[in-house]
Structure formats: C-alpha cells, structure tokens
Structure 1
Amino acid sequence: MLVAAALPVMLVILIVTTVAGLPMGIAMIVSSIFYLMMAGRDVGLAAEQVLNGVFGNFVALAVPLFIFAANIMNAGQISDRLLKFALALVGRLPGGLAQVNILTSLIFSGMSGSAVSDVAGVGKVLTNMMIKDNRYPRGFAGAITATSSVVGPIFPPSIPMVFYALISSTSVGALFLGGVVPALLIVAVLAIVVGVSAKLRGFPVEAVIPLRAFPAIILGAVPALLMPVILLGGIYSGAFTPTEAAAVSAFYALLLSVFAYRALGPKSFWNVVVSTVKTTVVVTIVLCGAFIFNYVVTIERVPQNVFLFLNDFEMNAATFLLTINILYLVLGCFLDVSTIMLVITPLFIPTAAALGIDLHHFGIVVVFNMMIGLITPPYGVLLFIIKALNGIPIAEMIREIWLFVGVLIGLLMVVTYWPDLSLWLPRYSGLLN
C-alpha cells in the first residue's frame, strides 16, 4: 500500500513545500527522499544520483564557468565597450537605442549564455539610457530590454542547452550551433518590429558618430568581440570541448578586464567570485534535486506512461510539437526555467525520440519556449529584474510586452515546423548526420 502511494505522496509534498516557499531544488530533494523511504528503497540512492549526475558529469562544470565569465564581463566594463560599438553601428537607425539594445544583446549572448546576465549587465545601462529625459516610454524600454535578452540562451554558448544536453545525452556542440540561425532570425525580426514602431510612435534616432571616432571605438571593442570567435572556433575545430570553452571564456574575460581594460581590481574580483559562488550553489541544488527526482520518475516509468497516454490520442510528430509548445508557453507563465528543463522536459524526451523528432531540434524548441516564459506574466523573471534594477513598474512593461511575445511565438512556430533552420548548420559542420 505504501509503495503504491509513494509517487502521489511525493508529488503532494513537492507542491506543498514549493507553495510554502521552499526553494525548488530543496523541495525536489525532500519529496524524493520521502518517496524512497515509503517505497522501501535505500535512501543512499539519493546521494548516489547526485554524485553520478552532477559531480560525475564533466558537462555540468560548464555552468558555473559561464556564470563566472558573465559576471566578470559585467564587472570589468567589457559590456560598456560592446555598447559603444553597437551604438556606432546602429544608433542612427529608427528607434536607435532600441536597435542598439537588440544588437548588444546578440553580441553579449555570444559570451555569457544567460538572459539574466544580459539584463543585469548591459541591459540595465541601456534601459537607463532609453528612459533618460523621457526619450522612450519606460514600459517600452523595459519590454525591449527583456525581449532582446532572450536571445542569450539561444545563441551559443547557452547554459540552458548545457542542461538539456545533460538530461538528453545530446551533443552540446550541435545544440550550440543549432541555435545560431534561430537567434539571428529573432534579432532580425525584432529589429524590423522596433523600426516600424519607431516610425509610428516618433522614437528618436541617435546623433551621428564622427568617422574619426570609429577607430578608437572598434579598437576598444575588438578584444571583447574576439571572445565568441575564440569560443566557437575552438569548439568546432576540436581544440577544446564546450566545457573547456567555458573555462577559456572565463579566463579570457579575466585577462581583458584586468590587463587590457584595467577595470577589475581585487575588491571587484572578490565580489565577482562571491556572486558566482552564490549563483552556482542555487543552480547546483536545483541540479541535485532534479537528478534525484528524475531517478524516481524513471523507476516509476512515468515517461513510458506519458508516451502511452499521448499515443492513445494517435499523435503524430506535428501534433506532439504543437502540444509541447502550448504546454510550455503556459508553464512558462508560472514556473522558472530550471524547473521546466530539469523536471518537466525529461518526461517528453522519450516520446519525442519515439516519434522520430531529432532531439537536437527538440532541444532548440524547448529552450526557445522557456525563453519566452522569461518575459510572460505573471512570472516574467526578466521583467521583475528590470523593475528591481531600473524602477520601471511591472504594469507599464506588461502593456508593451505583448507585441514582442506575439512576434516570438510566431517565430517559435517557424522554428518548430522548419527543423532545417536549427539542424542545417550542425549537419553542415559534420556534428550531425
């Protein structure tokens, strides 16, 4: 009797502890241990899953290293130089600073792999520039900053894609390369939407930067711009693995900040280390809980039961992907990225594989979905970060965000039903057959 009730009790405990305010990672660990006790299994299996899943996996080491690199870039004024470079390139376009916002997010994403780092770093500066002297409505400035930041985890490198590779046994390199075209498509469409909005709403353009200033701006940005070139070139040439690339990015950012830009002193570096450790601890606890929780889900054959349930509806690949998109868009309104990726996604990976969906393409679709979730109310994490950093009321951003959410959902459908957008680069590079 206890064994049969173990799984429902575990789910109830997970929901109750989460609603009560317990962090998701700890809630998963607590509920999973209750399951092991009720099912008469060795509680030591929990520790075994943590050791094998987190500390025994070389890919998992990439996450804190990318976090460290992003923190160094924000503290070491690298993002400021990228901002000046983007301003020189696209500041004169309609909606100049909004265009700069989009381009800077793309450039920054090639280094950090995190939407939160983008918003907290260069996004904070850009938003303040946009709302200064009421040049742009506060809600629009916050909305475009949040929206452009979702490019970060889609364009390589990407922390969510590292997580997905952990749970799906797919190639990190192929996932990284698969995100390039969708990310560039997002940037191009957002630039068009902003340009049209700027014309209709009379947004300002920026002053022309004299040609004589370009050499200094470019020279200041080139060392930072070389980072994604080094990372991607090293990964796809075979010089180092994606995890080693994360270490290279952190080391390169440190060299730039300390020696090239002379913007990172001992106190700033210590703050970077402390911030990285705090973030890494939170992420690691979630990972630990997810691996234990997923072990329970596996031995209870939940993925197989999900497949049989969906099979009763005679779903084909197209219908399944549409169902996943709707489900994830709804879940993204209420759950954080780590929960969706590490708890929900493993349930659907076997079904996707059984339906003949390429798991790398499925990973891009899943990550894209979750990035939209970062800006959808009521749990739009990026909107809350912007409110905390720039003081823009949530209600004002929500009024402006729906246009961008609609555009992103339209692009999501294109990426979902045109797999070659995600797969042709990995195939061309030889990472996929």
Structure 2
Amino acid sequence: MSVEFALCLLTLFLLASIGTPIGFSILVAAIFYLAAAGQDIGLAGEQILQGLYESFVLLAVPLFIVAANIMNAGTISERLLNFCVAAVGRFRGGLGHVNVVASLIFSGMSGSAVADAAGIGKIIVEMMTRDNRYPPGYAAAITAASATIGPIIPPSIPMVLYALVSNSSIGYLFLGGIMPGLVIGAVLMGLNYYLSVKRGFALEDPVPLKELPRHTANAFPALLMPAILLYGIYGGVTTPTEAAAVAAAYALLLSALFYRALSFRALYQILVSSARSSAAVGLLIGGALILNYVVVSENIPNVLAKNLVGLDVHPLVFLLSVNLLLLVLGCVLDATTIILVILPLFLPASRELGIDLIHFGVVAVVNTMIGLVTPPYGILLFVINAVTGISLRQIIGEIWPFLGVLVFALLLLILFPDIILWLPRVFGYAG
C-alpha cells in the first residue's frame, strides 16, 4: 500500500468521523489521492462519466425510489395492511405476523428497506400499540426487522448496485433473493409466535373469512405489481431498468386513477423527494466510482486474491470471515457504502476461490440489511424512531432477539447455497 493510498484512507476516515456525509468524504479522499499521486484530477470526472455511461442499469435506482414514494403517498399501504390483517391476523401474535407478511408483499414493490419502514411502519406500529396490545419497543423492533426484507425480495436497489460493481446478472440476483426473503420472513414469524406465547400477547379478534374476498379484491391491483415486474423481467418483455419504469408508471396509475388517492400537489412533492433521495445515492455512486479506480490503481483486489489463494483458504472460511467483517462494518457504515466500496475488494478473491458471485452477492445484501438494524448506526432504528416517536432506548432494548434470528438466517444462506441458487438455476442460470 502506497503512502498516497494511506493518506487517502486517513482523509476518508477523518472526514467521516467529524460527520461529513459519506459521499462527500469519499469524493474528497479520492481526489486527494489523485493530487498526492501526481495524477490529473480531471480523472475524477472521467471515472464518474465513464462509470455512468456504461451503467444503464443505474436508471433503475431513481425509478424504484419514485415507485416506492408514490405507493407510500397513496392508499396502497393501508389496503395491503387490511388484506394482511384479514389473512394472518387471527393467529397468535397476529399483528406481528401482519407486520412481516406486509413487508414481504411491500418488498415486491419498493426495493427499499427505508421505504418499507417509512411506508407501512407508522401505520402498523400504531395498530400494534393501540390499547396496549404490544409494547411500543416490541412493535417498533419487529417493524424494523421485517423492513430488512424489502431489498432482498425483488426488486432490490442494493442488488442493482451490486450488479454494477460485479457485472452480475440483475435478473439472476433478483431470482436469488426470493427464497432468502421467504426464509427471513419465516424465522421472524417463528420468533414472533414464540415471544407472543412467552409474553402473553393478546389474541386479535379474527376478521370473518367471508370478508377476506373483499379485502383481497381491494388489495388485488397492488398485489399484481410484483407479478408484473417478475413476468416482465423473466418473460423477456423488459430489462430490469425498463421494469423499474413500469413499476413507477403502474404505481402512478394505480394511486392517481384507480384509487384516486394522489393529487398533483402530492405528486410534485413525491418527485422532489425522490430527486433528493436519488441525488444522495448518486453522489455516493460517483464517489465510489473514483475510489474504485484508486483501489484498482493500487492493485489491492488482485494482491488480496493472490494472498488468499496462496494461503489455501477454504471458500467457506473465506465467506464466513467476509460476512463477519461485513456485520461489524454494518454497525458503523450504511449498506450502499459497503456494497459500492467494500465488496469490490473481495470480488477477485471470490472468483479465485470458486465462490458463485450470485450467491456471494445475495448473502452480502442480506448481511448489509442486517446492518440496518444493528446498533449504534442502524438507520432503520432511526427511521422507525422518527416516524413513530418511540424512543431509541425502547427499540434497541427489543431488537436483540430479532437480530439473533436474522444472523441465524444469514448463516443458513452461507452454509446452504442452494437456498439462493435453486430458483436462478430453474430459470437457466449455469452457476
């Protein structure tokens, strides 16, 4: 490692430690490296433009953000929750199950954990805490934990970003996320049932089965969105980027025309908010493109790969070690930074060790989602705190059992790759 690269890392950590947004920190540190190494600073702009021009897939990110924000503004979230209450609210821990199932469904529309938590989070937490049915901390914790499913089941913004840095197929990544999302939903519902019995949470009054068709009909147009997206991508009708545009258009038509729950003023606010969120992600992507150039210039990925192969590291040991590191980094870094900056360092080593990059990518995305609910940084904890007013102390006090089962699910995905790879193989993946 050169002196210039050491100074680059020092600058990055120093800026981040004093509260500079991570996107700006990465940009400044990378430009500082170019200047210290005597390279043309104009390379920074060249790397950003080249990376963006070669990455048509990045258009999917703002489109999925728009789709999620439109669904949150309309009545779609409420209709989905009413359907989930009618379907699973009758069982022990009913509203907790509703929480998880709603996240499973909503994840097939938004691709964002934050959109999931902010969209249905406030509504379901209010339902769970009404009349002291569930402790506020518990309701907030299971909401945060279930929101992690959002970017695992397709569509998924983090998987789009992983495809950018790994040149993997987005279609196969999306397929690889379906079974892990269901596994995580199952372990969360299992824990919710156990805790509901242990702590004596009250049973909900069941919605009569005769009303289930009505709730299903109300939610049916929204439930169609995941099916439309998946058919578009895997039926060869659309590319993943075009599918993101279809998702945004469908959400707009559904909210504005079918449900009549979206005004022009609200749409304007949605577009402004989406532009800001997209710009924040774009800033981080731009910084990561320059920093990745710096890392490649230092030949760090290849050196790391050769050293690992020389040590004859078993692929499983490598995978477990990388995931342990990612869990630790998830406590202090956001998912986008980890995917764009940290993961590329391990991709050459993964190839050398024969680790399937679809398996590696889905596991890494699941890992970074766990980081979203890991104290002290866990951004979903702050989101739930902001939209519900429940204190962080209460949320963190209840989050640990959910963190435990999420890590257990992650371990299953590492040890049994077929959970991830089975569905892609059914659709022709040769890995």
TM-score interval, normalised by the smaller of the two chains:
over 0.9
Give the Cα separation in 2 of the matches to 1:255 and 1:304.
48
Residue 174 of structure 1, aligned match among 172, 176, 183? 172
Once the two structures are TM-superposed, the CA of residue 309 in structure 1 deviates from its matched residue by 4.0
What CA distance in whole angstroms lies between the structure 2 residues aligned with 1:412 and 1:208? 33
Distance in structure 2 (CA, Å) of the matches to 1:314 and 1:353:
14
Number of the residue aligned with 1:243: 241
- The aligned amino acid for 2:284 is V
| Code of the aligned partner of 2:189 | A
Q: Distance in 2 between matches of 1:324 and 1:41?
A: 32
Aligned match for 1:429, one of 391, 404, 427: 427
Greater displacement, 330-339 / 355-364: 330-339
Could you tell me how far apart the structure 1 residues matched to 2:407 and 2:109 are? 25
Aligned with residue 88 of structure 1, among 75, 83, 86: 86
Q: Which residue of structure 2 aligns with residue 79 of structure 1? A: 77
Matching residue's letter, 1:45: L
In structure 2, stretches of 5+ residues that fail to align are none
CA contact (8 A) 1:97 1:205 kept: no
CA 1:80–1:55 in 2, change beyond 3 Å: closer, same or farther? farther
Give 1:25 shift. Answer: 1.1
- The aligned amino acid for 1:177 is L
Q: Within the alignment, does 1:115 sit opposite 2:105 as a pair?
A: no
Structure 1-normalised TM-score? 0.97
Following the alignment from structure 1 to structure 2, what is the Cα–Cα distance between the partners of residues 71 and 134?
30
Name the counterpart of 1:315. 313
Residue 39 (structure 1) shift: 1.3
Aligned residue in 2 for 1:5: 3
Q: CA deviation at 1:312?
A: 5.4
Q: What does residue 301 of structure 1 align with?
A: 299
Query: Which residue is 1:210 aligned to?
Result: 208
1:372 matched residue in structure 2: 370
Percent identity reads 53
SS at match of 1:179: helix
Aligned-pair CA distance for 1:252: 0.2
Give the one of 123, 126, 146 matched to 2:124. Answer: 126
Indicate if the aligned counterparts of 2:309 and 2:352 stay in contact, CA closer than 8 A.
no
Q: Is the contact between residue 174 and residue 432 of structure 1 (CA under 8 Å) also seen in structure 2?
A: no
Deviation by residue 1:91-134 (Cα, 9 ceiling, x = unmatched):
00111111100000000000001110000011111011111221
Report the alpha carbon displacement of residue 216 of structure 1 after superposing the two structures with TM. 2.3
Give the counterpart of 2:267 among 269, 277, 284: 269
Shift of the alpha carbon at 1:214?
Answer: 2.5
Question: What CA distance in whole angstroms lies between the structure 2 residues aligned with 1:34 and 1:371?
Answer: 31
The answer for unaligned runs of 5 or more in structure 1 is none
Q: Which one of 162, 165, 170 corresponds to residue 164 of structure 1?
A: 162
What TM-score do you get using the length of structure 2 for normalisation?
Answer: 0.98
**Residue type at the aligned position of 1:128:** E
Q: Secondary structure at the match of 2:346?
A: helix
Contact conserved, 2:381 with 2:392, CA < 8 A, in 1? yes
SS at match of 2:171: helix
Q: For residues 302-358 of structure 1, what are the alpha-carbon distances to aligned partners after superposition, in whole Å with 9 as ceiling and x for unaligned?
A: 112222443454311011011011101111111111111111100001101110000
Output the CA distance in 1 between the equivalents of 2:68 and 2:394. 29
Displacement of 1:55: 4.1
Specify the code of the residue in structure 2 equivalent to 1:163.
L
Q: Spell out, residue by residue over 1:120-154, the C-alpha distance to the aligned partner (whole angstroms, 9 max, x if none).
A: 01111101111122110111101100011111111
Determine the C-alpha separation between the residues in 2 that align with 1:329 and 1:159: 19
Which shows bigger deviation, 335-344 or 250-259? Answer: 335-344
Task: Kindly report which structure 2 residues correspond to 1:4-153, keeping only aligned pairs within 5 A, or say none.
Answer: 4-153=2-151
Residue 188 of structure 1 and its aligned partner are, at CA, apart by 1.3
In the TM superposition, what whole-angstrom CA distance separates every residue of 1:161-217 from its partner, at most 9, and x where no partner exists? 000000000000000000111111111121111112111111122212234432321
Deviation at residue 4 of structure 1 after TM alignment: 4.1
> Is the Cα–Cα contact under 8 Å of residues 152 and 158 in structure 1 kept in the other structure?
yes
Q: Is the 8 A contact 1:124 1:390 kept in 2?
A: yes
Deviations 1:395-425 (A, max 9, x none): 1111211111111111111100111110111
Equivalent-residue separation in structure 2 for 1:239 and 1:388 (angstroms): 40
Q: How far apart in 2 are the matches of 1:342 and 1:36?
A: 19
CA RMSD of aligned residues (A): 1.2
8 Å contact from structure 2 (residues 144, 380) kept in 1: yes
Moved more, 199-208 or 321-330: 199-208
Looking at structure 1, the residues matched to 268 and 131 of structure 2 have their Cα atoms a distance apart, in angstroms, of: 35
Aligned residue type for 1:375? V
Aligned partners of 1:212 and 1:21: how far apart in 2? 55
Instruction: Give the ranges of 4+ consecutive aligned residues of structure 1 lying more than 4 Å apart after TM superposition.
Output: none
What is the one-letter code of the residue matched to 1:230? Answer: I
1:253 aligns with 2:259: no
* Contact persistence 1:54–1:287 (CA under 8 A): no
Aligned residue identity for 2:190: I
Indicate which of 330, 333, 336 corresponds to 1:335.
Answer: 333
Aligned letter for 2:341?
V
- What letter corresponds to residue 361 of structure 2 in structure 1? G
Contact 2:113 2:150 (8 Å CA) reproduced: yes
Does the CA-based 8 Å contact 2:309-2:349 persist in structure 1?
no
